[in-house]
Amino acid sequence: ENVSLLFKLYCLTVMTLVAATYTVALRYTRTVERELYFSTTAVCITEVIKLFLSVGILAKETGSLTRLITSLKENVFGSPTELLKLSVPSLAYALQNNMAFVALSNLDAAVYQVTYQLKIPCTALCTVLMLNRTLSKLQWFSVFMLCGGVTLVQWKPAQATKVQVEQNPWLGFGAIAVAVLCSGFAGVYFEKVLKSSDTSLWVRNIQMYLSGIVMTLFGVYVSDGAQVLEKGFFYGYTYYVWFVIFLASVGGLYTSVVVKYTDNIMKGFSAAAAIVLSTVASVILFGLQITVTFSLGALLVCISIYLYGLPRQDTTKIQPSETKSSKERLATV
């Protein structure tokens, strides 16, 4: 589909602002606000909101209630195989979102934002293996540069002075690792499903969010079932928590639009600006003290993201399988 560059830039800009604001706001609710809420219920509500928003957009796209109902019957309730197919990224995204809460409870927002960029090499590997694409030598160089930058950030992490809470950095970095793996796999999987058929983006979203609601409800039951029954589903919710949920919902929808009309690699463009914004906010709100190693690491991450996104062959459409296998492609890089 022909999509203007202006529209792509608009989507990337909005996603950047949402990502930076979400990171800082989520960090605030997990540290500054002392009465913590259940992160599993927040993830579940996010899926519900995204489902309703997708249904609303699909209704506008179809133009009438009758067409909407027909579309839902044919593509959602009448296609259990498609629902099962979209349950795979639903599970991965649900786990990723829960890990984000764990990570931001144990890491500063700026450290989290930089470290989370390890999703780029993970996405690169998934893109090569799952979509039969190749990456240039410059892109692979930028991947290694990014890993070096993240290492520097963790080597001597920046310290916050205004927010004093008990944290476990190792738990935070472990949660980041799981979130990175889930993000890379789920993003590429969803892109492959989107671009392998002419099914509407919003139908695909509805299929995924329905599965996501089931997955996240199961997560609530397993992780916090007893406490939720005792204290209530919305225990600890404040206006800030609802704001975080809203940002997560909008961010999820914009991410799917970016994946549909560009690709997962293009999402990296917004990451550098999000790092800068969340770091500035952390300095102002949390008294973050920037170290030399942190600054150098963040700079390397931003440069690597820029190099990674330099113009290359079009990757917005799934290409037919070529003679080389995925393993051969990795070997030749």
Exposure of 36 in the CB half-sphere (CA atoms within 13 A): 14
Rounded Cα gap, residues 285 and 278, in angstroms: 10
pLDDT < 70 stretches in the chain: 1-9, 11-12, 32-35, 154-166, 258-273, 288, 309, 311-333
Exposure of 205 in the CB half-sphere (CA atoms within 13 A): 25
Residue 116 DSSP class: G
What angle, 0 to 180 degrees and rounded to 10, lies between the N-to-C axes of helices 39-62 and 80-106? 140
Q: Whole-model pTM?
A: 0.72
User: How many CB atoms within 10 Å of residue 45?
Assistant: 21
Residue 267 DSSP class: G
Scanning 32-136, the segments in alpha helix (DSSP H) are: 39-62, 65-72, 80-106, 109-115, 119-131
Q: Note the pLDDT of residue 213.
A: 92
Centroid of chain to Cα 322: 30
- What is the tens place of the pLDDT at every residue in 89-130? 888 988 888 888 888 888 877 778 778 878 878 888 888 888
- For residue 72, with 0-12 CB atoms within 10 Å meaning exposed, 13-18 middle and 19 or more buried, which class applies? middle
Q: Note the pLDDT of residue 44.
A: 92
List beta partners, residue 160.
288
Q: Note the pLDDT of residue 322.
A: 44
Q: Note the pLDDT of residue 166.
A: 64
E-strand stretches of 181-287: none
